[in-house]
Amino acid sequence: MSITSVYSYEEALEALKKGCTNINCSNLDSNVLEDGLPFDVFAEALTRNTTCKVLKLDGNELGNDGAVALGNALKCNSSLTDLSCFGRNVFKKSWFSLPRRKIRGEGCIVIAESLKTNQSLRVLNLGANKIDPRGAEYLAAGLGLSTTLQTLILSQNRIEDDGAEKIARALQKNKSLQALSLSGNMIKDVGAKKIGEVLRENKNLRSLGLEYNYMGDVGAGYIAEALEINTMLQVLNLGYNEIGPAGGVAIARALERNTTLLQLDLSDNKINGVGIQRISESLAANTSLLDLCWNGNNFDSEDAEYLGTGLAASTSLQILSLNRNWLVAKQIVAGLAVNKSLQTLKLRRILIRKPDAEEIAKALCANKTLRILDLEGNSLTAEGVAPIAEALHENNTLQTLILSRNNISDTGAERIAKSLRVNMSLQNLNLCANAIGDAGAKGIGDSLTANSTLQRLNLFGNKIGDAGAERIAESLRTNTSLQWLSLDRNNISANAASAFRNAIQDNKDCSLIKLALGGSRIGKEVQDEIEEKAKTRFLDALTSERSAPLNRLRLMFVGQGKAGKSETGKFRPT
């Protein structure tokens, strides 16, 4: 479903008239979609529309009158399935500097009434609209009677404990809702208790976001107790909730008993000591948890030891994120060396020293399951990246390696380049912002002539000039695997850019479909021309009677449009 983005009120109305199915009206000028007549006209057109399925009105400060008009439109509209009215992000600005518009009682009442009768809407996003406990009460009344709504996002409002209680009661009646986000709503332990009581009985909810609240150990305990009984919830976010060791112990008990939870986020809490010890021990007993995010918890070396032991014993965990936890690398990778389930490990900004890098390299040589390793922002330098580069000579399972912002310089880039000559598994390599110059770029270019597996290469924000860029371009005359290449924010001129044009034209089997040179010293038209030539040659090859490998490339091209898209809808600080 293609997205139609509009930038004015007139364009928005025209898109509806044309029968567009996916319309993005986000962040229009403040005098376009706001309280009063202009939005009333748009809402009236939406009432009669029978084609639009997805509508984004984010950042437009609809206010109360806009919400009333929108609610009335929803009572009649029978085609819209996904509606987003997310306001302004309260975490990026001072709360009291935000515009005064909010969705008050009347707006919530009309939207709630529409939920009772609307039979098409599946997703409703009302985040960051300053909805208060009374507004939440009205919305809860509509939610209780809705039979089609599957996802409700109320994040970054002000519903507090009273509002959370009303929403929880509505869940006792509602049989359709599968995903609920209440993050950033000043919910404390009282609200958490009501939500926990409902979770004990609810048979529909699959995803629950409670991050950025103030539940503490007591509130976390209520949710954890419900998890011991609940058999439906699959995704739970408890990040930024001031949870300490006692809450960690309660969560551990839940993990030992629960058999359905797949994804758990505990980021930026204070779960240390006995809390992390018990959760780490529970990883050995748990057989369902696939994704554990535990960023920014300030583990000490003993805490990291517990977690490393838990990782070694886990048989289900596939994704582990420990970003912003200093000095945990050695203990964690010790568990990685023997773990047989983990596929993704994220260790951003944890201060990796050379001895730690050596341990990571040893683990990469021993581990046979890891597919993605993220080491961004660890100040590895050329010295620290050397053992990891050597490990790539032996490892034949890692597919994605992220080394951005590590100041590896030309020397480190040349070491990585040497490994690319022999490594046959790596498909995605990120070396952005590493102070790589022409010497490092030439080494990478030389390796690309021999490598036949790398598909994505990110060199954004380095110090590569014409000489380095031309050598990379030259490699594209023979390389047949690279599909995506970024040289944004380097020092490349239009003369060097022509080398890419010529190389792509000369290589009939070139797979490149995305070349980013923006921010360099070339015009956008040159970049667009090069990229268009690459895509045209690629499509021409697909339509010709070529060999089987092109069928493989076709699948990759079709999937390109979804590359980089967020998959969980949950907030995860990195």
Q: How far lies 486's CA from each of 432, 473, 554, in Å?
A: 9, 12, 21
Helices 524-543, 494-506: crossing angle, 10 deg rounding? 10
In a domain, 69, yes or no: yes
Please state which of the ranges 423-437, 472-486, 491-505 shows the lowest mean pLDDT: 491-505
Question: Rounded mean pLDDT of the chain?
Answer: 88
In a domain, 486, yes or no: yes
527-571 confidence digits (pLDDT tens): 677 777 767 766 776 666 444 443 333 333 333 333 333 333 333
Please state which of the ranges 284-298, 475-489, 496-510 shows the lowest mean pLDDT: 496-510
Q: What residue type is assigned to position 14 of the chain?
A: E
Average pLDDT over residues 464-474: 96
In a domain, 514, yes or no: yes
Structurally, how many domains does the chain consist of?
2
**Of 415 and 48, the one with more pLDDT:** 415
Residue 549 maps to which CATH number? 3.80.10.10
Average pLDDT over residues 460-464: 97
pTM: 0.89
| pLDDT score for 65 | 83
Q: How far lies 220's CA from each of 217, 242, 468, in Å?
A: 5, 9, 54
**Could you say which of 186, 220, 248 is where a domain stops?**
186
In a domain, 224, yes or no: no
In a domain, 123, yes or no: yes
Sign of the torsion angle spanned by Cα atoms 519, 523, 527, 528: positive
Residue-number span of the structural domain to which 100 is assigned: 1-186
Give dist(CA 235, CA 258) in Å, integer: 12
User: Is the model's pLDDT at 523 over the cut of 90?
Assistant: no
Question: Confidence class of residue 242 from pLDDT cuts 50, 70 and 90?
Answer: very high
In a domain, 102, yes or no: yes
Average pLDDT over residues 200-226: 97
Average pLDDT over residues 283-287: 96
Give dist(CA 77, CA 183) in Å, integer: 29
Best CA proximity match to 534, nearest among 508, 495, 564, 561: 508
In a domain, 106, yes or no: yes
**Could you say which of 167, 186, 205 is where a domain stops?**
186
| pLDDT score for 525 | 66
**Of 43 and 170, the one with more pLDDT:** 170
In a domain, 201, yes or no: no
| pLDDT score for 494 | 82
Please state which of the ranges 68-77, 161-170, 283-292, 512-521 shows the lowest mean pLDDT: 512-521
**Could you say which of 186, 216, 250 is where a domain stops?**
186
65-104 confidence digits (pLDDT tens): 888 989 999 999 999 999 998 885 433 333 333 334 578 7
Place of tokens 């009432």: 47
Contact 320, 328 (CB under 8 A): no
Mind giving me the DSSP string for 244-304? -HHHHHHHHHHHHH-SS--EEE-TTS---THHHHHHHHHHHH-SS--EEE--S----HHHH
| pLDDT score for 106 | 86
| pLDDT score for 544 | 65
Average pLDDT over residues 374-391: 97
Question: Confidence class of residue 37 from pLDDT cuts 50, 70 and 90?
Answer: low
